[in-house]
Each structure stands twice: as structure tokens, then as C-alpha cells.
A and B are shown apart, each in its own frame.
Chain A
Amino acid sequence: SQQGEEDPQALSIQEGENATMNCSYKTSINNLQWYRQNSGRGLVHLILIRSNEREKHSGRLRVTLDTSKKSSSLLITASRAADTASYFCATDGGGADGLTFGKGTHLIIQP
């Protein structure tokens, strides 16, 4: 079953603009991770935020986590054409279900 739900499902912006994607989940988590997937390929880990953290940065990426609202956001600043991909949030509840992924946001960066 899907725990994370990304919003929007698709996003198209101009190169250089910022892109924001949101993720909501349903149950308590130990951590939340964001992954990127280029068309038809494997997923690449971007960033992990633990349940006791509120914000984390990595290069042009900024992730926030609000456990009271069970939501997270991923901000990509100064977007580039190479950022075109699908982005997934994945929750780790520490149970036996592995990581639970949302259905992803498909991001298109227009040159």
C-alpha cells in the first residue's frame, strides 16, 4: 500500500526557477527519504531527514519535515535541465514493509 502521496503529480517549470514538491504520509515514521528516478532507470537517493529533524539542506536541495502534519517538502533551487526526472518520497516506519514509496512527482525543466 502507498503511504506517501506526492503533490503535484506533474510539474513543469523554466530552467533557473525553483521547484517545490510535497509529500504526505499516514503513519508514524523513523525517517523520510527522497529519491530521484530518471526515465526507466533505477532510483538515486537524494536526502534523508529523521523524524526529530525539521529541515535539512544538501547542495541545491532543501527538505522540510512536519511530523504533526505528516508532511514533507522538497525544494530544488535554481533548477537545471538535468533535474528533469521523477521524484519520490519514501517513509521508513521501522516495520517489516521496507521503504514505502509515494507515486512520485514528475518534474520537467524547460530550457
Chain B
Amino acid sequence: KAGVTQTPRYLIKTRGQQVTLSCSPISGHRSVSWYQQTPGQGLQFLFEYFSETQRNKGNFPGRFSGRQFSNSRSEMNVSTLELGDSALYLCASSLAHREGEKLFFGSGTQLSVL
């Protein structure tokens, strides 16, 4: 069974641009969560999607958005990029994100904003 796939692996953008990151979950998994990882703040929860609906959202500005498609693939979008958005963006999937389920993470997209 293929793991969680994130594309692209690396991305370089300039301030003010927008970016779209993609995540394909493990086959059969319907929940996709996104996390931002930085050296200063560590891992922070962005949002979680289940069956094309956003169920939970972390404390991030509205510039960060996402969506999930009927095949459970998910994208996240960051508009008007800021230098502080430079981070490793991790996607994780699970069957239904019920209590006690473990998350399966992709290798992440390393975003650098210049």
C-alpha cells in the first residue's frame, strides 16, 4: 500500500505570491490533516478535512486555506506569502481521525519564501 504522497517536495516562492501544496492520502483513508513545522514554533495544526468537509481548524490567518476532493486528495493554499510562512508543511492521513487513531505522515513540502 502506497504511503502518503506530498508534492512538490521543495518549493521556492517570493513574498506576495501564492502557493498550492498537494497531498494524496493512503488509499481508504478519508481524513487528511495539515501541519506546519518551523524551528521556532515546532509543529502546529492547520486544519483537518474529512469527506470533503473541514472539520477542525487551527489558529492560522485566513491566508491559509484548504480543500479536499471526493477521492480524499487534499490541497492547501497560502495566499500573499510572508517570510514567516517558510516552513515544512506536513500532511497526515488516517481512516477517520477518530480518537486513538494514529496518523500517517507524508515526507512534507519544504517551502522557502524569499
B42 x A102 contact (CB < 8 A): yes
Return the contact of A94 from the options B88, B90, B99, B102 (Cβ within 8 A): B99
Asked whether any CB of chain A lies closer than 8 Å to the CB of B110, the reply is yes
Report A-chain residues with C-beta under 8 Å of the C-beta of B57: 96
Report B-chain residues with C-beta under 8 Å of the C-beta of A98: 33, 35, 45, 48, 56, 58
- A residues contacting the other copy or chain, number (CB 8 A): 26
CB distance from A38 to the nearest CB of B (A): 10
Closest residue to B59 on the A side, CB-wise? A1
A97 x B103 contact (CB < 8 A): no
| Contact A100 B107, CB 8 Å, known A30-B100, A50-B100 | no
User: Does more than half of chain B's interface fall in helix, strand or loop, or is it mixed?
Assistant: strand
Q: Report the bound CA distance from A43 to B91 in whole Å.
A: 10
A2 x B103 contact (CB < 8 A): no
B45 x A100 contact (CB < 8 A): yes
Report A-chain residues with C-beta under 8 Å of the C-beta of B88: 40
| Contact A104 B42, CB 8 Å, known A42-B4, A50-B100, A92-B99 | yes
| Contact A96 B42, CB 8 Å, known A31-B100, A42-B107, A45-B103 | no
> Can you pick out 17 interface pairs between chain A and chain B where the beta carbons lie within 8 Å of each other?
A2-B41, A30-B99, A40-B108, A42-B107, A43-B103, A43-B105, A45-B103, A48-B100, A48-B102, A50-B100, A92-B100, A94-B99, A98-B58, A99-B33, A100-B45, A101-B42, A103-B42
Other A-B pairs beyond A42-B105, A42-B108, A98-B56, 12, CB < 8 Å:
A2-B41, A33-B102, A40-B88, A42-B92, A42-B106, A48-B102, A92-B99, A92-B100, A96-B56, A98-B35, A101-B43, A101-B44
B residues contacting A by CB (< 8 A) are 4, 33, 35, 41-45, 48, 55-59, 88, 90, 92, 99-100, 102-108, 110
